[in-house]
Amino acid sequence: MRRDRAYFTENTPYLEYSDTEIKMLDVDEALLISEPKIRFAVPVKITHYPEYLKERGREDYGLPESQKLSDMEERLKQLSRQESLSL
């Protein structure tokens, strides 16, 4: 909306002349400003990480499978019971 764009451009450094760029942003896009290196707004595409992983595919790093959370919780319960019995 025009009022929102005006607020951003007036209150954000280096966005003074970026009203048109803000209007042109699409879904998953943003303007990046990083002081002191980037003194103007740079358009960037934001990627949803889970979707990126689906497109990219999985990498096989040869790591062993991790335990299921339920197995770890059961082991913690066993240890807790042993500790309470030893007291």
pLDDT at 7: 82
Q: Which residue has the higher pLDDT, 12 or 75?
A: 75
pLDDT at 58: 76
Cα separation, 83 vs 73, in Å, equals: 15
Instruction: Calculate the dihedral angle through the C-alpha atoms of 79, 80, 86, 87, rounding to the nearest 10 degrees.
Output: 160
pLDDT tens across 17-56, in order?
A: 777 777 888 888 888 877 777 777 778 888 888 888 888 8
Residue 67 token pair: 């335990």
Nearest in space to 28 (alpha carbons), one of 16, 13, 43: 43
What residue ranges do the domains of the chain occupy? 1-56
